[in-house]
């Protein structure tokens, strides 16, 4: 499969100079030259057809020809909240969540988290989301943000129609998603999961507890599984 000729830009104008990284990709990987057509996106949900007007040692410039309509964005607004994970597992979740179509991703520090976040790590996760959107042909890039406590994260979901809280200690075979609204917030814990007190806080704020089944899932698996079910019920994977 040919590599997609899609490039992220911070701002759209008639003439756009691609970043150094994107310019290297144009010249060294795709080997594009003047006159070749490319697609630009700025993460806002819009795409633009453009033509390469310069590709040399100084960089790559493209001329925007028109704005195109993208039909790849889900109609359901999904906000994933995931506990901070060790190593590069949070990056994996951000990548797959972007591919599945979430609109927003929040990383949480909760009681049993053994990992921590800082501004550099959040910036890195935002780049992961951007690259994932580029590869899966999305025109929107999910916003990645950090919450240093669970309550603040849960409060950020106040306006969502359906609020789900995944817990490994809940009985399997409980809640159905057949009545899911057009905006969904789903919360999945870190490797240590959630405490019963944290679950109680969530239910007091209108969250519905959902089981992760009879088997114990890794945190990254749980997040991807929950999102897959949500997107299937929303009609995005059919």
210-238: per-residue pLDDT in tens?
Answer: 988 888 889 999 999 999 999 999 999 88
Structural domains in the chain, sorted by start: 6-68 (2.40.240.20), 77-233 (3.40.1280.10)
pLDDT tens, position by position, 157-197: 999 999 999 988 776 655 667 789 899 999 999 998 899 99
Token pair belonging to 2: 């040919």
pLDDT tens, position by position, 24-75: 999 989 999 999 999 999 998 989 999 999 999 889 999 999 998 888 899 9
Report the 10 Å Cβ neighbour count for 110: 22
pLDDT tens, position by position, 62-114: 999 999 888 889 999 999 999 999 999 999 999 999 999 999 999 999 888 98
**What pLDDT is stored for residue 174 in this prediction?**
57
**What pLDDT is stored for residue 1 in this prediction?**
43
DSSP 54: E
Query: Considering the entire predicted model, what is its pTM?
Result: 0.89
**What pLDDT is stored for residue 212 in this prediction?**
83
Q: What is the mean pLDDT of residues 137-146?
A: 95
Q: What is the mean pLDDT of residues 118-141?
A: 95
pLDDT at 116 over 90: no
66 Cβ contact list (under 8 Å, min separation 6): 48, 49
**What pLDDT is stored for residue 4 in this prediction?**
61
Q: Which of 189, 139, 184 is nearest to 160 (CA)?
A: 184
Residues 16 and 59: beta-carbon distance below 8 Å: no
Q: Which long-range contacts (CB under 8 A, 24 or more apart) does 113-116 make?
A: 113/83, 113/84, 113/190, 113/192, 114/86, 114/190, 114/191, 114/192, 115/84, 115/85, 115/86, 115/87, 115/90, 115/190, 116/84
**What pLDDT is stored for residue 2 in this prediction?**
53
Q: What is the mean pLDDT of residues 124-146?
A: 95
For the chain, the residue count is 238
Q: H-type helices in the chain, by residue range?
A: 20-24, 89-100, 119-135, 150-155, 196-204, 219-233
Q: What is the mean pLDDT of residues 14-24?
A: 93
Q: Which of 58, 12, 55 is nearest to 30 (CA)?
A: 55
Distance CA 65, CA 15 (A): 10
Q: What is the mean pLDDT of residues 112-126?
A: 93
DSSP 216: P
């Amino acid at each position: 499969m040919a590599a997609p000729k899609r490039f992220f830009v911070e701002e759209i104008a008639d003439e756009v100079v691609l970043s150094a990284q994107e310019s290297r990709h144009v010249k060294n990987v795709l080997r594009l030259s003047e006159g070749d057509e490319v697609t630009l996106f700025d993460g806002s949900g819009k795409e633009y057809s453009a033509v390469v007007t310069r590709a040399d040692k100084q960089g790559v410039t493209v001329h925007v020809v028109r704005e195109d309509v993208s039909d790849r964005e889900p109609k359901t607004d999904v906000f994933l909240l995931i506990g901070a994970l060790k190593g590069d597992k949070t990056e994996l979740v951000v990548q797959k969540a972007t591919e599945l179509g979430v609109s927003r991703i929040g990383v949480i520090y909760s009681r049993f988290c053994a990992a921590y976040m800082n501004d550099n790590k959040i910036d890195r996760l935002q780049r992961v989301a951007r690259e994932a959107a580029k590869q899966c042909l999305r025109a929107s890039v999910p916003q990645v943000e950090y919450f240093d406590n669970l309550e603040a994260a849960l409060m950020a979901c106040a306006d969502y129609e359906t609020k789900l809280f995944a817990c490994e200690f809940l009985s399997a075979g409980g809640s159905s998603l057949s009545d899911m609204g057009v905006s969904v917030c789903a919360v999945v814990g870190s490797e240590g999961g959630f405490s019963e007190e944290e679950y109680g806080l969530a239910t007091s704020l209108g969250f519905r507890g959902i089981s992760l089944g009879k088997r114990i899932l890794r945190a990254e698996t749980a997040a991807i599984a929950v999102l897959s079910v949500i997107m299937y019920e929303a009609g995005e994977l059919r």
